[in-house]
């Protein structure tokens, strides 16, 4: 297994706990209620969260006040609340954005984990990396994810292209999308979002664009070369240029609408693609390897305690219940995401139809092997926001990948 970010339990967390107690209005009402802020994209997601909240309330006897907002609004509101000391005691956090907000969360050390009743050994190996930053643990993941290659079985059959198999290589990948490319549609849908475009260059080069000591490394020669290969798939005729810079879900939407045969997306969308409205048979396989090596990242989200929480002890008890066995079983059984708690994961597959269950489980087993935690800088969100609008210029050949990466490196990394 490659070098993995070690999750060092924060030795100073006990002191932080004392400092946090009694500080400001942090969403704890002081009456035993714990406010829980989380993103939710619609009624179904809100209902799913309420089901977990009800479990936590029953287990702890604590009243939980759930507040939800759409993804983008959530982080806008979180920035405001964090800066004003009014962040909810219990707050959801995406692992890729943790670096931007780590200071707003309470470090979780052995004392806090004991209060929450959490044993790190109960969670998937490496999953605590998702909620760790600079050696400190700031939350507990409720799900784990990684990037995976989705393909349209019907399109590949029609084109006479073999389905990808576990252990495939980048040469196999290129053969697949080349064979699936026809006059009617390109074989591959390129990505416009962070991991939808970046994952293949990372897998191919074997390096992340941030070093283990959190230094921006976009101009690493291996990453630049792999990026040039990736964007060059458009020049090869295997992929189309996205319609506009605002098409942030371009490749995934092209795949879901059966306009292309292959695309990259997270495991969090596996059930959505398996039940796609276009009616095609969906398949999935781990990222391809290069030279016998494949670098994939473990991703996901979790819950943390505000550093300004008035009653961190009660909030920790609620946190423990929300990532406890019953709540994680609820997450798994719904098929909405792949739970971080290992004992709950089999229920995710049991929720799938019999005819696809073994195939999906095998793909997940391969995809979740030999992953490492994502390295990020404190301003990783801003870096991606600077890169994303320029991706379409690179796809269109108006800017080279090296120019984009160098420009961004100079702006943010010096």
pLDDT of residue 232: 97
Helices (H), 181-266: 194-205, 221-235, 250-256
pLDDT of residue 320: 98
The CB density around residue 349, as the number of other CB atoms within 10 Å, is 17
CB 169 within 8 A of CB 200: no
Give the integer Cα–Cα distance in Å for 224 and 220.
Answer: 6
pLDDT of residue 26: 43
Tens-place pLDDT, residues 213-245: 889 999 999 999 999 999 999 999 999 999 999
Give the integer Cα–Cα distance in Å for 127 and 142.
Answer: 9
Mean pLDDT of 376-391: 91
pLDDT of residue 23: 37
Residue 332, pLDDT > 60, answer yes
pLDDT of residue 30: 57
Q: What angle do CA 355, 358, 360 make, to 5 degrees?
A: 95
Residues β-bridged to residue 38: 68
3-class secondary-structure state, position 12: coil
User: pTM of this prediction?
Assistant: 0.84
Using 50, 70 and 90 to split pLDDT, how confident is the model at 408? very high
Residue reference for tokens 């009243």: 63
Q: Tell which wins on pLDDT, 375 or 104.
A: 104
pLDDT of residue 47: 94
Residue 67, pLDDT > 60, answer yes
Q: Tell which wins on pLDDT, 379 or 260.
A: 260
Residue 22, pLDDT > 60, answer no
Residue 1, pLDDT > 70, answer no
Q: Percentage of residues in the chain with pLDDT exceeding 70?
A: 92
Tens-place pLDDT, residues 274-293: 989 999 999 999 999 998 89
Tens-place pLDDT, residues 74-123: 999 999 999 998 999 999 999 988 988 999 999 999 999 999 999 999 99
Give the integer Cα–Cα distance in Å for 344 and 144.
Answer: 12
Give the integer Cα–Cα distance in Å for 148 and 270.
Answer: 9
Give the integer Cα–Cα distance in Å for 100 and 377.
Answer: 8
Tens-place pLDDT, residues 23-65: 334 444 456 799 999 999 889 899 999 999 999 999 999 999 9
Greatest extent of the chain over all pairs of C-alpha atoms, in Å: 66
Residues β-bridged to residue 151: 262, 283
Tens-place pLDDT, residues 192-205: 999 999 999 999 99
Residue 2, pLDDT > 90, answer no
Tally: H helices and E strands in the chain: 18, 12
Residue 3, pLDDT > 50, answer no
**Dihedral over Cα of 108, 109, 114, 117: its sign:** positive
Give the integer Cα–Cα distance in Å for 185 and 259.
Answer: 6
**Dihedral over Cα of 310, 311, 316, 321: its sign:** negative
Residue reference for tokens 């999935």: 284
Residue reference for tokens 């709950």: 344
pLDDT of residue 41: 85
3-class secondary-structure state, position 188: strand
Give the integer Cα–Cα distance in Å for 286 and 197.
Answer: 15
Residues 6+ apart with CB under 8 A from 138: 93, 98, 102, 105, 106, 107, 108, 131, 132, 304
Residues 6+ apart with CB under 8 A from 140: 108, 116, 118, 123, 128, 131, 302, 303, 304, 319, 323, 340
CB 196 within 8 A of CB 391: no
Residue 11, pLDDT > 50, answer no
Structure tokens at 11: 């030795």
pLDDT of residue 96: 85
Residue 375, pLDDT > 90, answer no
CB 282 within 8 A of CB 276: yes
pLDDT of residue 15: 35
How does the average pLDDT of the chain come out, rounded?
A: 90
Mean pLDDT of 298-318: 95
pLDDT of residue 207: 96
Q: Which of 33, 160, 2, 20 is nearest to 85 (CA)?
A: 20
pLDDT of residue 376: 85
Helix, strand and coil content of the chain, in percent to the nearest 5, comes to 50, 15, 35
Cα–Cα distance list, 370 to 254, 295, 296, 348, 367 (Å): 29, 8, 7, 21, 8
Mean pLDDT of 352-374: 90
- What are the φ and ψ backbone dihedral angles of 5, each rounded to 5 degrees? -60, 125
């Amino acid at each position: 297994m490659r070098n993995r970010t070690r999750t060092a339990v924060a030795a100073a967390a006990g002191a932080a706990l004392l400092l946090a107690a009694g500080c400001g209005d942090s969403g704890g009402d002081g009456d035993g209620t714990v406010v829980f802020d989380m993103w939710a994209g619609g009624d179904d997601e809100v209902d799913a969260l309420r089901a977990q909240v009800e479990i936590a309330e029953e287990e702890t006897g604590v009243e939980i006040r759930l507040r939800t907002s759409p993804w983008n609004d959530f982080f806008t509101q979180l920035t405001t609340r964090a800066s004003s000391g009014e962040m909810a005691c219990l707050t959801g956090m995406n692992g890729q954005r943790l670096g931007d907000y780590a200071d707003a969360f309470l470090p979780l050390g052995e004392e806090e984990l004991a209060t929450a009743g959490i044993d790190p050994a109960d969670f998937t190996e490496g999953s605590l990396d998702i909620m760790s930053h600079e050696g400190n643990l700031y939350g507990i993941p409720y799900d784990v994810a990684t990037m995976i290659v989705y393909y349209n079985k019907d399109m590949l059959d029609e084109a006479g292209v073999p389905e990808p198999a576990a252990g495939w290589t980048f040469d196999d990948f290129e053969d697949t999308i080349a064979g699936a490319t026809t006059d009617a549609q390109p074989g591959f849908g390129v990505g416009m979002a962070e991991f939808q475009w970046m994952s293949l260059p990372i897998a191919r080069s074997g390096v992340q664009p941030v070093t283990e000591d959190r230094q921006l490394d976009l101009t690493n020669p291996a990453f630049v070369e792999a990026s040039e290969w990736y964007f060059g798939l458009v020049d090869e005729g295997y992929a189309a240029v996205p319609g506009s810079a605002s098409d942030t879900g371009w490749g995934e939407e092209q795949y879901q609408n059966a306009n292309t045969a292959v695309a990259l997306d997270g495991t969090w969308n596996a059930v959505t693609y398996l039940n796609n409205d276009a009616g095609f048979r969906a398949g999935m396989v781990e990222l391809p390897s290069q030279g016998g090596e494949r670098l994939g990242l473990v991703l996901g989200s979790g819950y943390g305690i505000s550093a300004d929480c008035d009653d961190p002890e009660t909030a920790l008890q609620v946190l423990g219940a929300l990532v406890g066995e019953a709540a994680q079983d609820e997450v798994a059984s719904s098929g909405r995401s792949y739970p971080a708690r290992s004992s709950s994961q089999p229920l995710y597959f049991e929720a799938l139809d019999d005819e696809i269950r073994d195939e999906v489980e095998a793909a997940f087993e391969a995809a979740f092997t030999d992953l490492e935690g994502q390295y990020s800088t404190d301003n990783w969100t801003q870096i991606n926001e600077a890169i994303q609008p320029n991706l379409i210029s690179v796809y269109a050949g108006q800017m080279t990948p090296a120019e984009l990466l160098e420009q961004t490196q100079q702006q943010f990394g010096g």
